[in-house]
Amino acid sequence: MRKNTIWNYSLIFFCCVLKSISTLDHGPHTVSVDSNRHNTQHQYKQNPNVASQRHSSHESGQSLHNSQSEHVTHIAASHAGSGGEHSTHLAQNLHRSSYNLLSEAMSQAVSNEFSSMGSGSADGACAADDFDCYSGSVQDRFGMEAIASLHRQLDDDDNGNIDLSESDDFLREELKYDSGYEKRQKAFHFNDDMHISVKELWEAWLRSEVHNWTIEQTTDWLAQSVQLPQYVDLFKLHKVTGAALPRLAVNNLQYVGNVLGIKDPIHKQKISLKAMDVVLFGPPRETGTRWKDYILVTLLLSAIIGCWYAYQQNKNAKRHLRRMAQDMEGLQRAEQSLQEMQKELERARMEQENVATEKLDLERRLKEAPTLSSSNSDLEVQQLKKEIEMLRNELSRAEFELVDNCWSPPPQLQSWLQYTYELESKNHQKKRTSAEKQLQSAREACEKLRKKRSSLVGAFVSTHGKSIDDVDRSIVEARNALGDVTNELQERLHRWKQIETCLGLNIVNNNGLPYLENVLYGRNGGLQSSMGMSSTKGSRARITNSTEDLDDESIQGKLNFENFSLLATE
């Protein structure tokens, strides 16, 4: 390319020499041509489509050649009438002046050619404020025109520069920024440059990060910032990069409507405003959308965790209720066992009362026998004799057995055993009362829990509290207490039956704890009288008050337990 340019300039040089000679031969021919910057600007305004660097350099060299030739002609004309004495000196000056001018033109043309080829811009041939010359040399002429259009749009006073107030008004009025635009405005006025020209705006655009956006980055901006994802495929089809955003910013109808095929005027305006924002002020600022997404995700996770926690609490509550129902069933079985033992005790007491009643009746009849008339009592006397004979036989047999065993219990042993039995019955009654209180407490707690579950708020609160655990624990304690009472009652019945069988003494049926305390600790000789009373009035022995209270409370406890079981089942 350089060789072709040199050959072109060589041809220009020879043409200039020939034209200079022909000009000297044919006389003066003056043409007024001004080859300054304004003439160049006038040429580009008449021919706006000139984009070839070689053609521009050729026109510049040709203009310089014309000016030089005309300058030589002017010199020759000015010296035409000086006389023959200066003809030799004039020819030498003309030859030297033409050679110098042509050399300078050659040097300037070559310098402009190489500078335009190396830098890719027309700064070496165009002035700083010559936009038409500048835009004719850049590669992205459409982008340059769009930047210039944006500059004119921001430049309200048409002074060729954008100051701080104009950018502030543009951000507020056009882009609708109410607050938070200071950083973007500061980035626009880079290095506190308060007056931005078209060239500075173009250079800032070339340095911008948005200018180097790829197709993917541009489509991401379209989908997220502009929020028009329906045009993503269209942008990818036409390979729209960051360099094409200025054309979108000025809403180029040819490009946006015909090339991209976007017909909706609202979408066009939205794309234009967003593109204008990123072209002038850099990448889009961070909005609250991401924070909203974070907050939404956090709330969603919190809701999921809350639902999972409520589900777990509900499941735990159901598991506690099932375990409580099982404990209640075990407690009911223990209560039934205790009731059966109470029934057995009642049957034994009734049998002993029947025997004692028969014995007392027999003694009474024996005492009343002498007062009866002989006519009415013959039969009774015979019956009494038979009974007396039977008793004597039994007594003889018992005496014989005692003689065979060679051991007889001391007389005081029966009273002490009766006193021991009464003390055990008293302690058993205390334990039974405590177990009944625990049962009543568990029933009340279960009733409260059932009332809480009847309401929505109470059900939610009960699943998070410790009420279920407390009720469960109270039920277990009541069941254990009733089990202990039942086992102790079984052991006592069996033990005292065995003692009565071995000793042949009446221990369970006695005259009560106050009487035994009076006999054993009250006065001397009381033991003998108590022995006599127990032998003669054994039929009048009664079941102690503690045993009767135990029976009554066991029946009442069973009814309470059945009610409590029904409440827990509900």
Binding residues: 155, 157, 159, 161, 166
Sequence-ordered list of residues with C-beta below 8 angstroms from that of 116, at least 6 positions apart, any chain: 53, 56, 57, 122, 124, 125, 137
Alpha helices in 160-252 (DSSP H): 164-169, 182-188, 198-207, 215-220, 232-237, 245-249
Return the DSSP state at 80. Answer: T
Q: What's the CA gap between 198 and 134, in Å, rounded? A: 10
For 339, the 3-state DSSP assignment is helix
H or E element at residue 514: helix 513-521
329: nearest Cα among 539, 524, 475, 445: 475
Q: What's the CA gap between 434 and 414, in Å, rounded? A: 30
Sequence-ordered list of residues with C-beta below 8 angstroms from that of 529, at least 6 positions apart, any chain: 519
User: In Å, how far are 147, 301, 381 from 196, measured between CA atoms?
Assistant: 12, 50, 149
Q: Determine the angle formed by the axes of helices 526-536 and 513-521, rounding to 10 degrees.
A: 140
Q: What's the CA gap between 362 and 395, in Å, rounded? A: 16
Residues tagged in the binding site annotation for Ca(2+): 155, 157, 159, 161, 166
Q: What's the CA gap between 530 and 521, in Å, rounded? A: 12
Q: State the chain's maximal CA–CA distance in angstroms.
A: 215
Phi–psi pair at 323, nearest 5 degrees? -65, -35
Residues 173, 153: contact at Cβ < 8 Å? no
Q: What's the CA gap between 296 and 267, in Å, rounded? A: 28
Phi–psi pair at 196, nearest 5 degrees? -110, 120
